[in-house]
Amino acid sequence: MALLFRIKEELRTFRAFLIGRDPFFLQTYYRLHFRIRPGSMDEIFDRYARKRKDFYFIQAGGNDGFMNDPIFRFIKKYGWKGIITEPQKRVFERRLKRTYHNAPNVILENVAISGKDETQTLYKLGISNARWATGLASFRKDTLIRQIKINYVGRKAKKEGIRLPDNPEEYIVTEEIRCLTLETLMKRHGLPRLDLLQLDTEGYDFEIIRGIDFDRLVPCMISFETEHLDPKELEECEALLGKHNYRLHKFRRDAVAVHASMEDSE
């Protein structure tokens, strides 16, 4: 089982290589075969993306840029322009850069997004570099510990053939990460506006949202994970977005906030 797992991981790395060297096939495929499911996040993205001749996005926590990625298909189908950030250096170099090797409309940054330009400590699993493990990295240590406690990490490690340390604290390592604000990123790369802010930061999503200066920057849509927010945080997040004229569309583990200016333009 462990050998099969390692083979699959190598195939994922090779798949990223192939995707990055094919600028036309996937674009054609998604234009012809990408079907939007009614009532889905895809439907919301598609509805409002069609309003823009040029669509600009920033994605926080891109990881490999493909697996379980909610906007990869839109980037390929419509040629969205924007910035993808991924703080983990190994993931950034070995996966994300390969996936978007031949995508002049996409800028990659090996940084994280925060409420101010700073350095923060990222908590991640030191026992594996597989996609399941790198996807758990977070600025919130408690989010990662929770995945250990519910035995998600144990089940995945067993499939990979990893012998875990007796002390769960030894699963975790840290990496010092350079963080930039949304405004710094937009100014650096000349984004004229932000149509979509896509967040996947394992529990840090609300920290990014409340770090936005809505008097200076109003993303048309904000897509974020709700599953790692406790009820109080989610309530505060909803209140903050409501205060700034966003309507919230909820899904099983995610939510999309759409600004009133987009809703009114229909």
- Reported as a single tens digit per residue, the pLDDT across 9-21 is 666 665 665 666 6
Q: Regarding predicted confidence, which is higher, 28 or 141?
A: 141
Does residue 109 contact residue 83 with C-beta atoms inside 8 Å?
A: yes
Identify the CA nearest to 135 among candidates 98, 181, 95. Answer: 95
Domain assignments of the chain as residue spans, ordered by start? 2-113+186-264, 120-175
* Structure confidence at residue 52 (pLDDT): 85
Question: What is the token pair recorded at 57?
Answer: 């996005």
More confident residue, 204 or 17: 204
85-102 mean pLDDT: 93
Distance CA 145, CA 178 (A): 23
pLDDT surpasses 70 at 111: yes
2-113+186-264: CATH topology is: Rossmann fold (3.40.50)
Contacts of 26 (CB under 8 A, 6+ apart): 19, 76
Q: What is the pLDDT of residue 192?
A: 96
Cβ atoms 82, 107 nearer than 8 A = yes
pLDDT digits (tens, 9 = 90+) for 45-62: 999 888 888 999 999 999
Over residues 173-190, the mean pLDDT reads 97
Span 37-47, pLDDT tens digits: 899 999 999 99
What is the spatial distance between Cα 210 and Cα 115, in angstroms, rounded to a whole number?
Answer: 8
Rounded Cα–Cα distance for residues 213 and 208 (Å): 10
**48 vs 223: which has the higher pLDDT:** 223
Report pLDDT for 10: 65
pLDDT band at 8 (very low <50, low <70, confident <90, very high): low
